[in-house]
Every structure is written in structure tokens, then in C-alpha cells.
Chain A
Amino acid sequence: MANEYVVPRVPTVDRVAADERAAKFATRSIKTTAKAAGLKLVVSMIDLTTLEGQDTPGKVRMLCRKARRPINHDDCPTVGAVCVYPPMVPVAVEELKGTDINIAAVATYFPSGQATLEERVDEVRRTVELGADEIDMVISRGAFLAGEYGRIFDEVAAVKEACGKAHLKVILETGELKTYDNIRLASQIAIDAGADFIKTSTGKVAVNATMPITLVMLETIRDHFMKTGKMVGMKPAGGIRTAKQALRYLAMVKETLGDAWLSPDWFRFGASSLLNDVLMQIEKQRTGRYHSDRYLSIS
């Protein structure tokens, strides 16, 4: 099978232009009502995440309660999803019963992805059975860098099949792919193989989501949509910690893909500390006074 795989032809990426274009989104001035609306949209797009070795059921429960009611008044939406390791899925299922918050789980031997395909697919199947609505998989970066593109395609396709009704987000771990050309190619392969979302990073390596990397991936999504009419979602993850950064990402999505993608169905932030910063800004907008994270629950 792998030998028959035809590597998709993707345009080369002009690194300088991508960096410059991405830097431009930092110059948009988003104020008053637009800012207030943007901040709430950001909250609704957050995949509130805890992926630590020290995660306990108690911590996941706390996270889920924060997801349901981020702040102590009603003028704030719930988050998009809660993202946890597979063993924590049953805890999240119990806590999020009766809400429309999705449960995302990282599977396929996250974060390294170093296991056989059978083991990885099996983990996905079991995680979906536990009740995960979304699966965040990692690709085998080693295989990609060795040029085994067909293997990546087969892997994603197999995991997609194992997902069944669950949505599949494919983590490219862009920090390890190094070049924008690699990122563009990996994005295209993941999309071709059936990814519902493409995602930048695990958050476990030195370089996580950056604006230019996200831009390259958004452009891949755009070009794919132009060609096939099929929408694919995007999830930058890792390193997005402030409301200001998040609003810049929204500006980038709007100007690259359009309003249709400005929805939690098509765009998510993988983050843990971002939520509190956004809540602080929401409170600033609401009360007119600067807020402190000491008034907010942790995580």
C-alpha cells in the first residue's frame, strides 16, 4: 500500500512572506464591543486541557466544573471541550453529563506516537468506547521526516476509521517538522486521510503553536476547501496564554478562511492557562476595572 501512495503536490511556502503576513495580524485593533464578543468566542473555542503525568480524577473534575461555569456569573459561555488523557475520560463523562461540552482525549500513544499502528488504533477504539467525542492523535514524526509519507496517510486513515463517530484531530507536532514546507505537506496528507481538524502541537516540545505556522495550516485548509468544498477545522495548541494572542488568532482565521470558521465547530484553542487570562479581560470589560487571577479558580 505505502509504495503506491502518491505524495500530494503542495505549493512551496515562502517563509519570509508567511512570517510577515502573520506579524500583520498583531496590528489589528480590536476594541469595545468587538473585543467583548471576541473574548466570549475565544472562551467557547477553548479545549480546556490537562495533560500531565500528575493528573488525578480530582483535578479533572475541577477542570470540568471550570469548563461548565468558567466564572461566577452567567454572562460567559462554556468552553468548547475538555481535553484529557484516555484514563480520565470516564471522569469527564460523569462530570459533563447533560452539557454540550465535548470530551476530547489524546490517543495514539501521545505525545511521542512511538508504538505500533495496531497498539495506537486499539487505544483510539478503547478511548472512543469510554465516551470521548473527539480524538487528538499524533502522527509519527519520525516516519514523516524519513519520507514515509504513505505511512502517515495510512496511519491517519486507520485512526479515522477507528474513531467512528468521534471527531479526529491530527496533531502534526509542527515544532518537530521544522520547515514550513513540511508543515504544509503534513497538513495536506492529514486532510486527505480524513482529518476533521488539524492541530499544531502536543504542547510538549520546545516550539508550539506560532502565528506563521498556524497561518500555513489555515492556508492549506483554505486551498483544500477551494478545491473540494470540504471544510476542515484548525486547532493551534501550546503557548497561547493571553487573550491578546487569542484575538490575533481570530483575526487571522477571519481574514484567511472567513466567518464560517469563526465557530467552535471549526476552530479551537488547545490551552490551559489561556482561559483565566480571557476571563480577566472579560471582567475588565464588564466592570471597567483591571482584574486579578487571584479571584479566579486555578487551571
Chain B
Amino acid sequence: MAKKAKRERLDIYKTFKLYIGGRFPRTESGRYLTETTHKGAFVANICRASRKDFRDAVVAARKAQSGWAGRTPFNRSQIFYRMGEMLESRRDGFERALQERAGYSEKKAVAEVDAAIDRLVWYGGWADKFIQVFGNTNPVASPHFNFTMPEPTGVVASLAPRSAPLLGLVTSMAPLIVSGNAVVCFVDHDHRSIAIDFAEVLHCSDLPGGVVNILTGHRDEVLGHVSGHRDVDGIAVFDAEGDERRSIGLEAADTVKRVHFYDTPDKADWSDSAAQSPYWILPFVEFKTAWHPM
């Protein structure tokens, strides 16, 4: 590598903010977390989202949800493909981030970005197919045409996986929004900045603002407000055990939320085929049955 010329200018560092309603606001709390690389070197100060940021994100998600669900499945599919395109065009940055910040080997970083792109495209393909596969016409003993079809649950809070900073987030988010849900992802692991990098990908993918909102911070701080928020229809929970599951379940039961706990794959291998399935779409759809007189 050629010797670096003496730099005449100051580097401009990126400020990592939250992603709410298609904007990048700072946390209203003014608090931050310091993110370091796997070796302990400073990366950035990251927003430590508060319950009010979560509240704002739910408002944004609620506003966006019906419009997103009202898009044609084919259009949602196109937007998923566009996300894949955008991630592909920025893959160098993500590979570098995974290596420098999270300590991945080059091979592992490339594999994670590959898998993330492929997963977006893969779920994009399901947008106009899962209704056909999971919906049904039902034989009934009356002169009715009776059919059942899945519809999105609504606003879903996702307590995102604590491993695989890029692929974990994509894996948790894609099956939620493909059906027309809007989601608030709460990211709590050591490399939160990568989630915000990914928000920039979403931001330029024709994805309407508010469909995906990304917050970074401490999960346990907001847990009660996430599971008790009455305008949240469902909670997708990754990497929670014992007491945490219990408290989420108790709070959520109060407002009859749909809660789904995902089992973390062995050694957090999100590229495994078990982490990608049309059945991942099912926990957050509601089945509607209609009776149509013949």
C-alpha cells in the first residue's frame, strides 16, 4: 500500500442518528452510547433512544401502515428488490464496517452481505405469493363462496436480534413488512451503527417513510413501554429468555397483542436456511374469512 500523503484536511465523521418516519432525528433524550470496535477503538456516539422516541416511531409507523398495506403486493415486491439493489451498490461499505467494527473476517463479511441482499430479494418474491399459498377457499355447506386470506397485523415492534448486525436485522424485518405491516425495530447490540447504515439503504429504496423505523439503545430500558403501548399490535422478540419473555408476555396480554418469540438459530447463524421461510411471515398476519353469497 502506497504511503499515505500527509492529510491537509479534517475527516468528516458521520453522525449516527435514529430512523423515524423516513427522517433521521436525534434522540429526544439527548443521551448517547459510545460504540467501539471489537478491539475497543472509538467508532461513534450512538443515539440512546428513549421511550418517547419509541412513542414517536409508533406514531410514524401507524401513519404509514395503511398506505403500505394498500400498495399492491407486486409494488411491495419491487421495493424489496430495490432494497436489494441499494444494499448491493453499497456493499463495500457494509463489508468494511462488519470487518472493522464487528471483527468479521473478510470472507464472513462478504457472506453476510450476500445473504442479506439475497434475503431481501427472496422475501420480495413472496410479497404477491404468500397470500396465494396461505390463503384458501373453504368448502362450506351453504350456498356461499367462502375464502380465507392473510392480512397484516398492523404496527409491529421488533426487538431485533442481538447478533449478525446486518443479516439479523434484515432477517427480522423483511418477513414483517412484506405482508404490509409497519415495524419499529429496536436494536441493542455492540454494533448498532450498522443498523443505522442500513437505514440509509432503506431510505433510498422507495420504501415509504415510517414503514420501517430503527431505534438504537438499551432494550431493557424501554421494554415496559414497548410491550404496554396500546397502539402496538404485535411484538416480534428475538434473543429473549426467561424473565424477559415473561414480562413481555404479561404486559402484552393486557392489550391482547400478538407476541412471537423467535428461537435464535444455533450459534446465531442467520444465513442458515432455517432463518428464511414463508412461515416467518405468518406470526404477524391475521386471517380474515369472508362469506360471499353465490
Q: A residues bordering B, Cβ < 8 Å?
A: 287-295
Contacts and interface: CB of A to CB of B under 8 A. Distances in A.
A295 B229 CA distance: 12
A291 B229 CA distance: 6
A25 B288 CA distance: 48
B258 interface: no
Nearest to A287: B228
B184 to A, nearest CB: 12
Nearest to B62: A292
B231 A289 contact: no
A287 B255 CA distance: 12
A287 B251 CA distance: 12
Closest 5 pairs (CB-CB, A-B): A292-B231, A289-B228, A292-B230, A290-B229, A291-B230
23 contacts: A287-B228, A288-B228, A289-B224, A289-B225, A289-B228, A289-B229, A289-B230, A290-B55, A290-B58, A290-B225, A290-B228, A290-B229, A290-B230, A290-B231, A291-B230, A291-B231, A292-B229, A292-B230, A292-B231, A293-B231, A294-B230, A294-B231, A295-B230
A288 B231 CA distance: 14
Nearest to B226: A290
B111 to A, nearest CB: 40
Interface string B226-241: 0011110000000000
A291 B224 CA distance: 13
Nearest to A293: B231
Contacts of A291: 230-231
A73 to B, nearest CB: 15
Contacts of A294: 230-231
Contacts of B230: 289-292, 294-295
A27 to B, nearest CB: 14
**Which of B225, B229, B230, B231 gathers most chain A CB within 10 Å?**
B230
A295 B230 CA distance: 8
A285 to B, nearest CB: 14
Contacts of A295: 230
A183 to B, nearest CB: 33
Given A289-B224, A291-B230, A292-B230, 8 more contacts: A287-B228, A288-B228, A289-B225, A289-B228, A292-B231, A294-B230, A294-B231, A295-B230
A59 to B, nearest CB: 24
Contacts of B228: 287-290
A288 B224 CA distance: 10
A294 B225 CA distance: 18
A297 to B, nearest CB: 15
Contacts of A292: 229-231
A289 B224 CA distance: 8
Contacts of B229: 289-290, 292
A291 B55 CA distance: 10
Contacts of B225: 289-290
Interface in B28-79: 55, 58
B240 to A, nearest CB: 19
A164 to B, nearest CB: 46
Contacts of A289: 224-225, 228-230
Interface in B200-242: 224-225, 228-231
A287 to B, nearest CB: 8
B7 to A, nearest CB: 42
A292 B58 CA distance: 10
Contacts of A287: 228
B26 to A, nearest CB: 18
Contacts of B58: 290
B28 to A, nearest CB: 13
**Which of A287, A289, A294, A295 gathers most chain B CB within 10 Å?**
A289
A288 B225 CA distance: 8
A295 B254 CA distance: 13
A3 B59 CA distance: 56
B60 to A, nearest CB: 14
B4 to A, nearest CB: 48
A288 B228 CA distance: 9
Nearest to A290: B229
Interface in B95-144: none
A291 B58 CA distance: 11
A19 B142 CA distance: 68
Contacts of A290: 55, 58, 225, 228-231
A35 to B, nearest CB: 14
**Which of A291, A292, A294, A295 gathers most chain B CB within 10 Å?**
A292
A293 B230 CA distance: 9
Contacts of B224: 289
A298 to B, nearest CB: 16
A293 B231 CA distance: 8
A292 B155 CA distance: 12
A288 B55 CA distance: 13
A289 B51 CA distance: 10
A287 B230 CA distance: 11
A201 B58 CA distance: 32
B221 to A, nearest CB: 15
A55 to B, nearest CB: 26
A35 B55 CA distance: 18
